[in-house]
Structure 1
Amino acid sequence: MLNVDTIKNGLVIDHIKAGCGPQIFHWLGLDKASFTSALIMNVPSKKAERKDIIKIDNIINIDFSVLGFVDPNICVNIIKDEKIVRKIRMELPDRVENVIKCKNPRCITMTEHYVPQVFILADRKKATYRCEYCDAFYTAGKIE
């Protein structure tokens, strides 16, 4: 039987699309953290067939736009004294910076490394973004 202790003060990142948990876990640097954290994968879900969950026994700063980019269905629960005090629901951000890299070899971001990688939401329904500089398209869902 799986037993993951209660979070006293921290975060629970819930409703992560099954299989995307490790990507977020590593992006947050939790694999190198000195505090307790847990990645639980393929948990049965009522909304989706399966989901991943990340429990963090610490309050850390998170760029919520990145979480929304990876999966706009994610919910972040803030825990204080073992109780949920706030729920933050994600959505696709209008803009992401330095989350994905433009694949266009002619894009200025490929040659001028000081230029930030900026993508603007082009189509919310299709979850597509376009490079601010060269208009190359990228589909949301994977951070680099």
Structure 2
Amino acid sequence: MLNIDEIQNGIVIDHIKAGTAIGLMDLLGIAGNRTASVALIQNARSKKTASGRKDIIKVEGDASWLNLDVLAYLDPNISVTIIENGKAVRKEQPKPPKRLVNIVRCKNPRCISSIEEECDQIFELSSNGKYRCVYCEQELQVKPE
């Protein structure tokens, strides 16, 4: 059995779809951060997931720099547990953000965000629960894997 120490202060991102945590770490900027201690657990057993497997990310230290809003867009089943003084003080289910900035790219080849390199990729949550490009109204079709 694999044993990973508990963290004293930080966060635990749990119930990540098995095999996707490395991409999620890149997207959140965890992989490039040199100040945080990070534990990545892949293919852990899970009774809650259909596949029976999940990934877990533990971040020790100040995690206030993480943009956790994007987690609900990527996977609505992800949960975040806040750890303080070795105790879980709060468990959250992230809500879909109203706006995604530079998370996904617009697929419309005529969109200004596809043509101009310095233009941010911005999508807003519409009333029908789907994200649309703020420049060309292109709707996002599927969530990334």
Aligned to 1:46: 47
Q: TM-score, normalised by structure 1?
A: 0.84
Cα deviation 1:12-69 (Å, max 9, x = unaligned) = 0011111221111222333342432111111121220221100111122221221111
Pairwise CA distance, 1:95: 2.2
RMSD: 1.9
1:58 matched to 2:65? The reply is no
Aligned residue for 1:110, secondary structure, equals helix
CA distance in 2, matches of 1:29, 1:97: 14
**Structure 1 segment 90-101 matched on structure 2, within 5 A:** 90-101=94-105
Pairwise CA distance, 1:74: 1.1
| Distance verdict in 2 for CA 1:31–1:64, change over 3 Å | closer
CA distance in 1, matches of 2:39, 2:22: 10
Paired amino acid for 2:58: K
**Structure 1 segment 1-144 matched on structure 2, within 5 A:** 1-32=1-32, 33-48=34-49, 49-60=52-63, 61-122=65-126, 123-124=128-129, 128-138=130-140, 139-141=142-144
| Distance verdict in 2 for CA 1:18–1:85, change over 3 Å | same
Q: Does the aligned pair in 2 maintain the 1:129–1:140 contact within 8 Å?
A: no
Paired amino acid for 1:73: N
Pairwise CA distance, 1:132: 1.8
Q: TM-score, normalised by structure 2?
A: 0.84
CA distance in 1, matches of 2:35, 2:100: 29
CA distance in 1, matches of 2:29, 2:58: 13
Identity %: 45
CA distance in 1, matches of 2:76, 2:144: 9
What is the count of residue pairs matched by the alignment? 139
Q: Does the aligned pair in 2 maintain the 1:11–1:55 contact within 8 Å?
A: yes
